[in-house]
Chain A
Amino acid sequence: MELYTLSARELADKIQAREVSAREVTDAFLACIERVDSDVRAFVTVTAQQARAAADAVDARLAAKEEVSSLAGVPIALKDNLCTTGVETTCSSKILRGFVPPYNATVVEKLSAAGAVSLGKATMDEFAMGSSTENSGLFTTRNPWDLTKVPGGSSGGSAAAVAAGEAPFALGSDTGGSIRQPAAFCGLVGVKPTYGRVSRYGLVAFASSLDQIGPLARTVEDAALLLSVIAGHDPGDSTSVPRSVPDYRAALTGDIKGLRVGIPKEYFAEGIATDVREAVTRAISVLEGLGASVGETSLPYTEYALPAYYIVAPAEASSNLARYDGVRYGHRTRNAQGHIDLFEKTRDEGFGDEVKQRIMIGTYALSAGYYDAFYLKAQQVRTLIKQDFDRCWENFDALITPTAPSAAFGIGEKTDDPLAMKLSDICTIPANMAGIPALSQCCGFTESGLPIGVQLMGPPFSEETLLRLAHAYEQATDWHTRRPSLDKK
């Protein structure tokens, strides 16, 4: 049995029982990266040296019989929009090339305190804007299940790394589906926590009112383990919620009897591929078989979520990305005449097309005379979407939908059709707009062997319910045990 096939929880147990050393585990994953990453291309930066040093430190503590924390010696991959002290943080953008943060994101601090070992920084769509990593300003990641397909995005590098066995789990960020959609495309569990559950301090902002950091893992238990470590109030993030963090693993009882699961009909409308629809329908039957009660429901404002999102997110992004002006860090043009020219050329050279387009849309939406018609209206729509969900929670503990309209699409297939690309987030965006938690897990495979994702959504701070449902489903099925066959190549 290869170490890199084990779950994070199994690795943690073995390390603490001193069956394997943290160093052996880290070396096993670094070797896997060495072996497959030239195909998968999940990592922007591999921090092998720091990883080995961190693993050795854990081994030293264990040898000295000192207490170690829950993730001691367990490797992890970090999306490259999480700031890491002394390690370049690029957001897969040329404009941040050379930016080495002098500080860690709060989640990175928490991981480090828990003993986790960072393997490096994973690729993404530039500034998390995209659904395939094809918008990366550096390179595109490939789906380990089929290297001609995209891994999803924007946390495509994080998802591909976990699916390929390059890391047992990873952190991603989710603004409109950027954890859940790649989790679906790569056959993983991905959790977007409630807005405010996890500190955003040190997460390079895309859309501040929508962004959340969350886990990508191969099992629900690993996702729960990781979420327990990263969740919690942070005095450094005013929008993080002062609320105690449960032990999410304790919620995985296997008992979902009596939980009421709603099926919002708007998520099964046309545009959802037949194989996806069928797989999700079968998943609903499995939950029903496990004792959950299921029933149809409706979220009438669903169709407005995507257009409203494409006002709110670009508007916030246009402001968040204003700081990349070449004055203090990152890329700076070589031939500027005066400060205005410096701003314009630096930004022109540093940002990719998708980012520029969203900055323009956002700038327009916030302009005097358009603010009321666009930004304000979009925020009102957001309230309606929230109210839609609130009505559902009167009758249901969770909602079940497809995660994405289809399984992973081909690299280059949608790059000329931006609307089709954006529609791949149609099922995931509403949860961000409402600030509610949502989870994606694998519920089957297409005929060609690509994973299909099912999404669970719940009321604010119902992560335990979602994890319990997902765990029960996972115990009753074996999709999560399948692995892509990269090594056979």
Chain B
Amino acid sequence: MPLYETHVGMECHAELLTESKMFCGCRNEFGGEPNTRTCPVCLGLPGSLPVFNKKAIEHVVRTALALNCTISLHSVFHRKNYFYPDLPKGYQISQYGNTPIGVNGWLEIEKPDGTTKKIHITRVHLEEDTGKLIHSDGAGYSVVDYNRSSVPLMEIVTAFPPDIESAEEARLYAETLRSILIYLGVSDGKMEQGSLRAEPNPSVRPVGSDTFGTKTELKNLNSFRSVQRGIEYEAQRQIEVIESGGRVTQETRGWDDEKGISFSQRSKEVEQEYRYFPEPDLIPLEFDPEWLESLRAELPELPNAKKRRLMEQYGLPATDAAQLVLERETADYFEQAARGVKDTKAVANWMLGDLARLANASGLAIHAAPIPPAALAEMVGLIESGAMTGKIAKTVIEEMFATGKSAPQVVQEKGLTVSGADEVAGIVAKVVAANPDVVAKIKAGNDKSIGFLVGQVMKESKGRAKPDDVNRLLREEMDKL
């Protein structure tokens, strides 16, 4: 059996975070009583006309700029014609052809081995979402909820030939894209609610072949994990089809996350006839280059750039920086907490370690934890100054999280002040006296055994002894013998 390689094109749809829908004044929200957020325009009533939502256009332009796209100064909208009950006008207003808002961009993914890869993007365009069919489980009818009808939807399509060569790269692409969209504030990125949808088009071919295999389109992928699993499964399935002498059918396949399989939904062998033509009810968008430049200048620092800066500015390792920038607010929290702290790496460690664990257990994001950045900075400062040991800090942070009290408050109330050197010396003397055999071993040259004594001292002092003190005093005590 020849070796196969996988190629994946990605189509991602993001519902945009706007107050109102794409072409009318109805509120843009998720869920709610069916058909309560509708009007003549989004119901496609006769005579109604669409009017642009300027915020949605701005969101797409900012996304296209962040994805290094060229902006079409003259951007046209089209009608995509097809019949379906959830499509009230019988066409979707979309962008077809070569004048979508953004063209020819790229984003960079970072692989686990630390290498980066550019994934090229062919288009970023704006369209409207459809309503939703609700089926009556066997009662012989379906009903339609048009609350989602005409919600602004952004489509981002990767370039052909595809740069993505594995399921993992596809997942990284989706994750990176999501974090950019969230940084820009254009999408909430909720894959499980469908406000961000990833539709990969995987294909396989024997290594060395110069033509691409037939691709299938995967739908219903509700998490990053299912993006990766779906593609892995689908690539394997395609290889098996080919190896058993079959032919991969061009089709849309649904993903069943529970069973871990894909299943055929709709054949795409016959090209759908959408009869695209320019939307006569809307005038083409004409962008002012100055306006574009002002938007470009106001773009926030994006995750990749922020990560590089955190590494440089705070001396963080790549893995920590990558975790901190996943959400903009987490990175902001870090930078606020690191202000005035010398050991900024320790701030990251506390955030990604104990604080993340505590927050996670309460279902909170780090930045939403009841410990404000300044309080964490104060706690790290106490350790830095030697006023508290790291061991005590583990107790302190739990208490801070539970009560919202500051570190000094907790230390004082719980009597967790650091033991003085005299007190430690007493404990050391006791421990050395109680363990003559261990002391003998050390004296005989087994230096490792000193760890046992250190542990005993820490235990006796309930963690309040400073490790430096313990080591120094132990040496002194043994030297006396």
Contacts and interface: CB of A to CB of B under 8 A. Distances in A.
Interface of A: 81-83, 89, 91, 96, 99, 101-103, 105, 200-205, 207-209, 235-239, 315-316, 318-319, 321-323, 325, 327-329, 339-340, 343, 363, 366-368, 371, 375
Contacts of A367: 273, 275
A61 to B, nearest CB: 29
B43 interface: yes
Given A201-B48, A316-B280, A323 B40 contact: no
A101 B40 contact: yes
5 A-B pairs with the lowest CB-CB distances in the bound complex, closest first: A322-B90, A366-B275, A208-B280, A209-B280, A204-B46
Contacts of B40: 101-103
Nearest to B51: A238
Nearest to B79: A319
A378 to B, nearest CB: 11
B45 A325 contact: no
A319 B47 contact: no
Contacts, number: 105
Given A102-B40, A238-B49, A367-B275, 10 more contacts: A81-B47, A91-B46, A202-B47, A318-B275, A319-B79, A319-B81, A322-B83, A323-B89, A325-B90, A327-B88
Given A323-B88, A325-B85, A343-B83, A238 B283 contact: yes
27 contacts: A83-B46, A83-B47, A89-B46, A103-B40, A105-B47, A205-B47, A207-B280, A235-B51, A236-B49, A238-B50, A238-B51, A239-B280, A239-B282, A239-B283, A318-B81, A322-B89, A323-B46, A323-B90, A325-B83, A327-B144, A328-B43, A328-B44, A328-B45, A339-B85, A366-B275, A368-B275, A371-B276
A386 B69 CA distance: 35
Contacts of A208: 280-281
Contacts of A200: 47, 49
B277 A366 contact: yes
Contacts of A318: 81, 275
A316 B271 CA distance: 22
Is chain A's binding surface mostly helix, strand, loop or mixed?
loop
Contacts of A236: 49, 51
A467 to B, nearest CB: 27
Contacts of A239: 280-283
Interface residues of B, number: 31
A93 to B, nearest CB: 10
B333 interface: no
A95 B421 CA distance: 94
A98 to B, nearest CB: 13
Given A96-B46, A105-B47, A319-B81, A371 B90 contact: no
Contact of A371 (B47, B84, B277): B277
A367 B82 CA distance: 12
A322 B91 contact: yes
Interface string B211-243: 000000000000000000000000000000000
A46 B281 CA distance: 31
B52 interface: yes
A236 B44 CA distance: 14
Given A103-B40, A319-B275, A366-B275, A201 B81 contact: no
A313 B329 CA distance: 53
Contacts of B142: 339
B138 to A, nearest CB: 14
Contacts of A101: 40, 45-47
Nearest to B282: A238
B51 A368 contact: no
A238 B41 CA distance: 13
Contacts of B46: 83, 89, 91, 96, 99, 101, 204-205, 323
Which residue, A99, A236, A363, has most C-beta atoms of chain B within 10 A? A236
A203 B47 contact: yes
A371 B83 CA distance: 20
Contacts of B51: 235-238
B47 A237 contact: no
Contact of A319 (B45, B88, B271, B277): B277
A238 B52 contact: yes
A101 B40 CA distance: 9
Which residue, B48, B273, B282, has most C-beta atoms of chain A within 10 A? B48
B348 to A, nearest CB: 50
B17 to A, nearest CB: 23
A319 B91 contact: yes
Contacts of B44: 323, 328
A315 to B, nearest CB: 6
B89 to A, nearest CB: 5
Nearest to A369: B273
Given A203-B47, A368-B271, A327 B85 contact: yes
Interface string B58-83: 00000000000000000000010101
